[in-house]
Amino acid sequence: MDVHVIATGGTIASTADGDDRGAAPELSGAELLDAAARVGEYADLTVETIADRPGFDMALSVCARLAERIRSVGPTVDGVVVTHGTDTLAETARYLDLTCESPVVVTGAQRRPDEPGNDGATNLETAVRAAANERVDSGAFVAFDEELHAAATVRKSHTCALDAFRSPEAGPIARFTRKRVHWHRSPQGADATFPVPGPDAHPTVPLVVSASGVGRAAFDAAERRGDGVVVAGTGLGNVTGAVGDAIVDASCPIVLTSRCHVGPTEPIYGTAGGAATLAACDHVRFAHGTPWAARIELVLALAADRVAERFDGFDG
């Protein structure tokens, strides 16, 4: 099996020299493979480095460049592995899930290579094993702590633990042990592929969070600068009355999500800010994944003029 590895930076590629400076991505993809001694047992590997960014500063322009590279090299290999910083790893995985048909497995590390008990080599090995597995034939996935997760359901759920990635509602797709892969269900990628926007052509989509006492000022500012807005509501997708009034007055596409880790959004409450009130607006749609995954999908849907197709409107 042939697997191509693309490095983009992150903790897996970071080092820290002494006590006077913080960690920064410095290792190339080739150096990561050299440090993962057994990874070559599972596939014939090629490697390149396209970025050296920390996960918390990943840019959509880099995601676009990454997607274009995967679309180019994907048909020539059995799978692609991307190494990435963990903070936005799930968002990049979702971006690739929606733009790439080739199988892609994204991984990273919670501990640097120069820290005791570092997890980068093990995670990279799991990612290569997944990308080389014939059951993983399309879509994007996250390999972490010997588990494989779907890009559509995974989230980073712990700031520093080694088992940082979870799919709270769906669970992992598979568990990798020393000798075999234990499949819980068939791996499936996204059900639609979007074109990749140009590096500087991504629509602007701010994210607004509703919470006790939040007024409309933050939403109004987001709408002024955004081509669309994602709102992380409470419960089933409700917001404060003030934010709800602002959403009703808005003129751009609005996607409502929930701050909750598990469960759908649904229009039940008809008061100001209630999801049933907001569902009556033609420009309001609903998403059932994480707010940040919905933001990635709205960016791509706006660029392709496919918002109504991709999000629920609850219009009967």
Q: Could you give the residue numbers annotated as active site?
A: 11, 86
The set of residues, in sequence order, having a beta carbon less than 8 Å from that of 280 and lying 6+ positions away, is none
105, containing H or E segment: strand 104-107
Contacts of 292 (CB under 8 A, 6+ apart): 88, 90, 91, 207
In this structure, which long-range contacts are made by residues 21-24, counting pairs with CB atoms below 8 Å and at least 24 apart in sequence? 23/112, 24/54
Q: Which residue in this structure is represented by tokens 């987001």?
A: 222
Ramachandran angles phi, psi of 115, nearest 5°: -105, 150
Measured CA to CA, the distance from residue 166 to residue 208 in angstroms comes to: 23
Distance, C-alpha 170 to centroid of its chain: 16
Q: How far apart are CA 110 and CA 118, in angstroms?
A: 7
Q: How many helices (H) and strands (E) does the chain have?
A: 9, 16
Question: Residue 13 has what DSSP assignment?
Answer: G
Q: Tell me, what DSSP letter sits at residue 115?
A: S
Q: Which contacts (CB < 8 Å, 24+ apart) does range 30-33 have? A: 32/5, 32/7, 32/83, 32/120, 32/124, 33/5, 33/124
Question: 3-state DSSP call for residue 46?
Answer: strand
Return d(Cα 231, Cα 216) in angstroms, integer.
12
